[in-house]
Structure 1
Amino acid sequence: MLTDAHGTPLRVSLTGGHRHDVTQLLPLIDSLGPVRGKRGRPRRKPRTLYADRGYDYDVYRRRLRERGITPKIARRGQPHGSGLGRVRWVAESAIAWLHGPRRLRTRWEVRDDMHDAFLQLAHCMTLARKHPAF
């Protein structure tokens, strides 16, 4: 899941349980549309990406920098206390909102496309709750 600074889920993807989360980092970033913000030309990519230790790979840090994104990723093997938890909690909160519907807490569907459909529906429901004007 990719969220903005306020916890609004921007993109959601479904992968197998045996796949590492970092494999979906670049496809999620690349699928992101224009980022709204200040008046003027919309940004095509975020300025900064906050992530936990599971995304601490030099290859992905380098690829993010090539895209003009500053990675703020906690280092593995370092003690806690980096302060990233103060900004990363919004992503954890968005994941909790996404798993609100009982259908998504436990995967009952055998087919991936059905589970992905329910995941996208929950994503739309979360957006509707967070931004009632839509």
Structure 2
Amino acid sequence: MLCDAKGVPLSFLLSPGQHSDIRHAQPLLEQVRLPSAHRGRPRTRCRQLLADKGYDADDLRRYCDRRGIRPVIPQRQGVRKPKPGRPRALNKPSYRKRNVIERLFGWLKSCRRIATRYDKLATSFSAMFTLACIRRCLRHYFSYKT
């Protein structure tokens, strides 16, 4: 799941339970088209990617560097050998903003049908997840309009 800084869902991918989330990070980022402040084509990338230690992989960091996205991902300790040179410093004030996605997941888990996954087929679960995301977007949109 990918959301903006305000907790509005932008995109999601369903993956099998046995797959690692890092495997689906790049396709998920490719799906997102952000609206631009200027007229014309939509901006295709974000400025920062806030993720937890599970997304600490060289491939994802290189992908972010190629796209001009600053990855704010803490490094896993003791799993990999340190790279020569200076390690990337973690921007802690930016990383604290990651609670937005955690709160979004908490809100989605309050939707009983999604939390318990009553749907047997992935297509029907995806449809219910999409409806929950639409509900979240409408809730966010109308709370700022009034």
Both structures adopt the same fold (TM-score exceeding 0.5): yes
How far is the alpha carbon of 1:35 from its aligned partner?
3.3
Partner residue of 1:86 out of 96, 119, 140: 96
Which residue among 133, 139, 142 is the counterpart of 1:129? 139
Contact 1:12 1:123 in 2 (8 A): no
Give the whole-Å Cα distance in 2 for the aligned partners of 1:33 and 1:85: 23
For the residue of structure 1 that corresponds to 2:72, the secondary structure is strand
SS of the residue corresponding to residue 49 of structure 1 reads strand
How far apart are residue 94 of structure 1 and its match?
1.1
Aligned residues: 130
Show the counterpart of 1:31.
31
Q: Determine which structure has greater relative contact order: mean sequence separation of CA pairs < 8 Å that are 6+ residues apart, divided by chain length.
A: 1
Q: Secondary structure at the match of 1:10?
A: strand
Question: What is the aligned partner in structure 2 of residue 9 from structure 1?
Answer: 9
Unaligned runs of 5+ in 2: 79-89
Q: How many angstroms apart in 1 are the aligned matches of 2:107 and 2:122?
A: 21
**Corresponding residue for residue 86 of structure 2:** none
Equivalent residue, structure 2, for 1:65? 65
1:49-104 per-position Cα deviation (integer Å, ceiling 9, x unaligned): 111000000111001111221111111118xx963551100010111122221101
> d(CA) in 1 for partners of 2:121 and 2:51?
30
Identity of aligned residues (%): 34
CA contact (8 A) 2:72 2:91 kept: no
Distance in 2 (alpha carbons) for counterparts of 1:68 and 1:86: 21
Instruction: State whether structure 2 residue 128 is matched by structure 1 residue 118.
Output: yes
d(CA) in 2 for partners of 1:9 and 1:22?
A: 19
Moved over 6 A (4+): none
Q: Which runs of 5+ in 1 are unaligned?
A: none
Q: What TM-score results when the alignment is normalised by the length of structure 2?
A: 0.80
The answer to whether the 8 Å contact 1:47/1:70 transfers is: yes
TM-score relative to the length of structure 1: 0.86
Q: From the CA coordinates, give the structure whose radius of gyration is larger.
A: 2
Match in the other structure for 2:87: none
Q: Distance in 2 between matches of 1:82 and 1:54?
A: 17
Partner of 1:56: 56
